[in-house]
A = this chain, B = another copy of it.
Amino acid sequence: MRRLTRKGAATRQRILEGAALHIREHGVVETTLDDVLVRTSTSKSQLFHYFPGGKEELLLAVARLEADRVLEDQQPQLGELTSWEAWRRWRDLIVARYRDQGTNCPIHAVMSQLRASTPGAQAVVSELMERWQAEIADGVRHMQAVGEVAGSLDPDQAAAALLSGIQGGVLIQLSTGRTTHLEAALDMGIAHLRANRP
């Protein structure tokens, strides 16, 4: 696809967002191409025109869309972890976000469908995790700079541990419907930082 008219770009976007929404609501297993077509008032030929790779390509595009959204939803708090109060606000924001999302994580759903088949799929998640962890690590480094955290603590290590806790907390929430584990993980992660005062 080399050139897209304005109309074409709009249609492509409509299909993409319609697919993302349907997956959010029904899960990827219960989402067929026809569902997406009906919902977005488009036809097969349009879908394959914009996503020549078919369902696989569409799902991958949805994964990218959702991955971007994850970090966007945490801004601006994630980018300004400059005080303990800011860390607390970020923590509350995450909990609220995932509480709202309920027991259906779009990325998680899409990934489990693509895993083996699509090589680029794991890269989407890997990249998300890297960016996420980098932002947290920046926050840790800032706290070190202002003397609230000991310089002996490895920021990347701490960020990796905190990120793991978040992922696991959300994962457990998918089965239990509760955010208790997510909260426990966040609280422990932050407490661990605070315990490492210089």
**CA gap between A174 and B111 in the complex, in Å:** 10
| A contact face: mostly helix, strand, loop, or mixed | helix
**CA gap between A193 and B180 in the complex, in Å:** 19
Q: Smallest CB-CB separation from A195: which chain B residue?
A: B195
Which range contains the number of A residues in contact with the other chain?
A: 35 or more
B175 close to A165 (CB less than 8 A): no
**CA gap between A184 and B26 in the complex, in Å:** 35
Q: Smallest CB-CB separation from A110: which chain B residue?
A: B112
User: A165 and B191 in contact (CB under 8 A), knowing A126-B175, A129-B175?
Assistant: no
Q: Is A113 an interface residue (CB 8 A)?
A: yes
Shortest distance between the CB of A88 and any CB in chain B (Å): 16
Choose, from A11-19, A45-53, A156-164, the stretch at the interface. Answer: A156-164
Residues in B with CB closer than 8 Å to A112 are: 108-109, 112-113
Q: Can you sample 13 A-B contacts with CB below 8 Å?
A: A29-B116, A122-B174, A129-B181, A160-B180, A163-B168, A164-B166, A164-B172, A164-B181, A164-B182, A164-B185, A168-B169, A168-B171, A188-B188
